[in-house]
Structure 1
Amino acid sequence: MLTRRHILAAGGGGFATLAMPSLLRAQQVEVIEMRGTPRGERVWYNPIGLAITPGTTLRFVNHDPVNSHTATAYHPELFDRVAHIPDGAAPWNSDFLLPDESFEVALEVPGVYDYYCLPHEMAAMVGRIVVGRPTDAVWQDPAEDTGDLPEAALRAFPAVEAILDRGRIDPEET
């Protein structure tokens, strides 16, 4: 077990981060809000596009006062959908989140991850996460197979290049 004494004996701060097990290191967390209008006629994720480094944790938070939402990866294991996450990446489904509830998932495998809200996919409540860079050795972009995605969802996804250029794309920018 790593104690304060070990860290101080090793020279303190800078070395401590390297010596600590990865579970104890500070983890980067990016928040994705689930939003909606007061009467529920429009719903969205904010941001809708996000570039992150491998290992970043995403925290989906429902800030919609009237709707429950999900954050569900496009994957055959989840509702028999065409995969829109890299091979080897674990699919996720938050289940229904009520207002002010949240869900977290860490993305490790470089590539493009598309996800949607189960009850609101037809209303284009979708998002795209780009993990790493296309120059990464194991980079994958499974988003090229449109499969069974509704046209509204396909139109809503921001381009991978735009996400990489800007780092974050809010819904009003698409």
Structure 2
Amino acid sequence: MQRRRFLARVGGAAAAASTVSIAGCLGSLGGGRGDGEDAYDVGMTATTFRPQEITISVGESVTWRNTSARTHTVTAYEDAIPEEAEFFATGGYGNEETAREEWWSDRGGALENAEEFSHTFEIAGRYDYVCIPHEQAGMIGAVVVEE
């Protein structure tokens, strides 16, 4: 009888663990403009922004959340944003060169797991951005801002 009780407990725990794992995976597939834990727009996996491209309207903000265990950055490509647009980068740097230097010298602009960064887009156009430490792996994204 003890063996049956043991197997029932182990089986129940395994089923509960599977449910938690599946729910965790579903929650990390991308953000949402909702409230609570899913109140971000772009998630960061190991080497990908999800979604890679997002479309918003002028005056709206985008919130990125690091949903992985790796450290990430969000850094605009200075030559791939509208000419009049404000540069953006985690760490608050004023240009791409400084953001890159600070990352490689002291991990400046780092977003750790569950940390977020937001930016408001005031100019219509396409904004390409990168995660500096994972650029070689193709971690590049875009925000398209429409009138």
**Superposition TM-score tier, normalisation by shorter sequence:** 0.5 to 0.7
**What secondary structure sits across from 2:135 in the alignment?**
helix
User: Would you say 1:68 and 2:82 are equivalent positions?
Assistant: no
User: Would you say 1:55 and 2:51 are equivalent positions?
Assistant: no
Query: 1:120-139 residue pairs with structure 2 within 5 A?
Result: 120-132=134-146
| Matches of 2:62 and 2:143, distance apart in 1 | 10
Q: TM-score, normalised by structure 1?
A: 0.50
Q: Is the 8 A contact 2:52 2:140 kept in 1?
A: yes
Q: Is the 8 A contact 1:55 1:106 kept in 2?
A: yes
Q: Which has the larger radius of gyration?
A: 2
Q: Percent identity?
A: 33
What letter corresponds to residue 61 of structure 1 in structure 2? R
- Figure out how many residues of one structure are paired with residues of the other and give that number: 91
Q: Is the 8 A contact 1:30 1:56 kept in 2?
A: no
Runs of 5+ consecutive residues of structure 1 not aligned to the other structure: 1-28, 37-42, 76-82, 137-174
| Matches of 1:30 and 1:89, distance apart in 2 | 22
The residue aligned with 1:25 is none
Q: Which runs of 4+ in 1 moved over 3 A?
A: none
| Matches of 1:30 and 1:49, distance apart in 2 | 14
User: Would you say 1:87 and 2:92 are equivalent positions?
Assistant: no
| Matches of 2:88 and 2:145, distance apart in 1 | 15
Structure 1 residues 82-115: Cα deviation after superposition (integer angstroms, max 9, x where no partner): x100011111111110001101100110001000
RMSD over aligned CA atoms reads 1.3
Structure 1 residues 99-150: Cα deviation after superposition (integer angstroms, max 9, x where no partner): 0110110011000100000111110000011100xxx6xxxxxxxxxxxxxx
Q: TM-score, normalised by structure 2?
A: 0.59
| Matches of 1:68 and 1:32, distance apart in 2 | 15
Query: 1:1-174 residue pairs with structure 2 within 5 A?
Result: 31-36=41-46, 43-65=47-69, 67-75=70-78, 83-94=79-90, 95-132=109-146
| Matches of 1:116 and 1:96, distance apart in 2 | 13
| Matches of 2:51 and 2:60, distance apart in 1 | 15
Higher-helix-fraction structure: 2
